[in-house]
Amino acid sequence: MFYEELSHPIFKLVSEESQKLGFETFVVGGFVRDLFLKRDSKDLDFVTVGSGIELASAVKNRIKGAHLNVFKNFGTAQIKTDDWEFEFVGARKESYDRNSRKPKVEDGTFEDDIHRRDFTINTLAISLNKANYGELIDTFEGISDLNNGIIRTPLEPKVTFSDDPLRMMRAVRFATQLNFKIEETTLAALKSEATRLSIISQERITDELQKIIKSKKPSIGFSILFDTKLLHEFFPEMVRLQGVEIREGKGHKDNFYHTLQVLDQACSRTNDLWVRWAAILHDIAKPPTKRFLKGEGWTFHGHEDKGSRMIKPIFTRLKLPLGEPMRRVRNLVKLHLRPIALTKDHITDSAVRRLIFDAGEDLEDLLILCKSDITTKNKKKEERFQANLVNVEENIAAVEERDRIRNWQPPIDGAEIMKLFGIGPSREIGQIKTALKDAILDGVITNNYNDAHKFVIEKGKQLGLQQQ
């Protein structure tokens, strides 16, 4: 039936080797789903009623240059060729214990194997057996759910989620990636079983979360995570962004939904995962810095600094990488108001030079974040804000062209200053270094060695130092 779809030579090979071994074998899961969705997929899962490892070894022997990995403990084997990954597993039956997502596993029939799968759209299988080669086996009306864009568990959803709570994150992830709706009783079970997420390791939760963030419109996923209270299980800081308080007739925007809009807008501008994270986190310190000032209304003074200090604890808890990605996110959060501030007054070259210096490598990403941070519903205002940022961008380009501030270091460094005055590391040396940097950034002196040298000698004199 789907014979022509199975154009890759692997299918015939697997079919022949399976028959020789007297097994029954099927292509299952994500590959079959993606075949119908016309999504490109390079992972292929084969289920065999027999030994997955034996079948994989036999297949491997017929592919030149293929590499076989055997996972004895799991009874699975994997073949890697060029860009494909073929996974072989024996059909299994699973039974769960309440305190773990690891089931007791025993050999099972093809039907057992299909019944243990998470969503109807993931239960689809194609036979590779001689009698019905290429025939689609759709046990739970997966095709109908695919056509209608529905995520639904094949069995009772509460049991499905309680057995392996990671499936709840997977449900949200598929709903986001595919832009599908979660069927009503499945959604109700997400709400009732949300706290079961506590038995899942943070690494696995974060892995699914990253897939949501990498998708085209992550707000779909975050809205579901929030509504089902799954988000409350692992990201309380983000939950706290939600809500509007009104005092003396003055409100403020709902920072959760604002953040989701900023995130989607950032996603339409960049695929960079960490800029997307900066969008998620840019206002994260608004709740803890929120104050109501009489006559003035709501303020979130210093939320960019406090926010940047919240990044490390959040990254640590979510098991996100603490090196360069965290540094970038922290810098973007810290600086996210700076380009906007430039648009308010008339722009001085000095302020532009400081921004270029402080943002360094992150300048383009910062501008992406700032443009995405505009969420006013007033079309006129939106156009004006965007135009202001474009103006800032042009100013930056002009100053950059002239002064080459980016990745810049002052023409005289600390070691040279110490040598000039014949003293070691000290407060005075620090003061001279800072004064020199400021003088150049503020345009007091030009960025060249001679002017810097003169400035340093003068500054040293003021501090009572003697030139050597």
Binding residues for ligand ATP (CB under 6 A)? 29-30, 43, 45, 117-118, 122, 164, 166-167
When the beta carbons of 155 and 463 are compared against ligand ATP, the nearer one is: 155
Question: Which residue minimizes CB distance to ligand ATP?
Answer: 30
For residues 328 and 305, give the distance between their C-alpha atoms in angstroms, rounded to a whole number: 14
User: Nearest distance from residue 174's CB to ligand ATP, in Å?
Assistant: 8
User: Nearest distance from residue 247's CB to Mg ion, in Å?
Assistant: 51
Q: Which does 166 bind (CB under 5 to 8 A by kind): Mg ion, ligand ATP, none?
A: ligand ATP
Q: What letter does residue 260 receive in the DSSP assignment?
A: H
Residue numbers 405-464 binding Mg ion by CB under 5 A? none
Pairing of strands 181-182, 150-151: parallel
85 binds Mg ion (CB under 5 A): no
Q: Are 190 and 182 in contact (CB under 8 A)?
A: yes
And the tokens for 297? Answer: 């209304």
User: Nearest distance from residue 121's CB to ligand ATP, in Å?
Assistant: 8
Q: Which does 113 bind (CB under 5 to 8 A by kind): ligand ATP, Mg ion, none?
A: none
And the tokens for 53? Answer: 């490892």
When the beta carbons of 117 and 354 are compared against ligand ATP, the nearer one is: 117
Q: Which does 55 bind (CB under 5 to 8 A by kind): Mg ion, ligand ATP, none?
A: none
Q: Which does 122 bind (CB under 5 to 8 A by kind): Mg ion, ligand ATP, none?
A: ligand ATP
With the C-alpha atoms ordered 196, 145, 45, 179, is the resulting torsion angle positive or negative? negative
Which residues are 292's β-sheet partners? Answer: 298
CA–CA distances in Å: residue 334 to residues 110, 284, 359 = 54, 11, 10
DSSP codes, 243-297: ----BTTB----HHHHHHHHHHHHHHH---HHHHHHHHHTTTTHHHH-EEETTTE
When the beta carbons of 45 and 145 are compared against Mg ion, the nearer one is: 45
Q: Which does 164 bind (CB under 5 to 8 A by kind): ligand ATP, Mg ion, none?
A: ligand ATP
Q: Determine the residue type at 425.
A: P
When the beta carbons of 30 and 75 are compared against ligand ATP, the nearer one is: 30
And the tokens for 168? Answer: 């709840």
Q: Which does 283 bind (CB under 5 to 8 A by kind): ligand ATP, Mg ion, none?
A: none
Q: Which does 118 bind (CB under 5 to 8 A by kind): Mg ion, ligand ATP, none?
A: ligand ATP
User: Nearest distance from residue 239's CB to ligand ATP, in Å?
Assistant: 25
When the beta carbons of 212 and 389 are compared against ligand ATP, the nearer one is: 212
Kindly report the number of other CB atoms within 10 A of residue 171's CB atom. 29
> Which residues, 6 or more positions from 8, have their beta carbon under 8 angstroms from its beta carbon?
84
Which residues are 137's β-sheet partners? Answer: 125
Residue numbers 41-70 binding Mg ion by CB under 5 A? 43
User: Nearest distance from residue 183's CB to ligand ATP, in Å?
Assistant: 17
Q: Which does 117 bind (CB under 5 to 8 A by kind): ligand ATP, Mg ion, none?
A: ligand ATP
- For residue 299, which of 288, 308, 309, 313 has the smallest C-alpha distance? 288
Q: What letter does residue 150 receive in the DSSP assignment?
A: E
**Any idea how long the chain is?**
468
Burial 126-154 (b: 16+ CB within 10 A, else e): bbbbeeebbbbbbebbbbebbeeebbbbb
When the beta carbons of 46 and 222 are compared against Mg ion, the nearer one is: 46
User: Nearest distance from residue 41's CB to ligand ATP, in Å?
Assistant: 7
When the beta carbons of 212 and 231 are compared against ligand ATP, the nearer one is: 212
When the beta carbons of 181 and 433 are compared against ligand ATP, the nearer one is: 181
Q: Which does 288 bind (CB under 5 to 8 A by kind): Mg ion, ligand ATP, none?
A: none
Which residues are 281's β-sheet partners? Answer: none
User: Nearest distance from residue 257's CB to ligand ATP, in Å?
Assistant: 28
User: Nearest distance from residue 84's CB to ligand ATP, in Å?
Assistant: 13
User: Nearest distance from residue 169's CB to ligand ATP, in Å?
Assistant: 9
30 binds Mg ion (CB under 5 A): yes
CA–CA distances in Å: residue 7 to residues 10, 35, 182, 345, 346 = 8, 12, 32, 63, 63
And the tokens for 319? Answer: 């098991």
Interface ranges with Mg ion (CB under 5 A): 30, 43
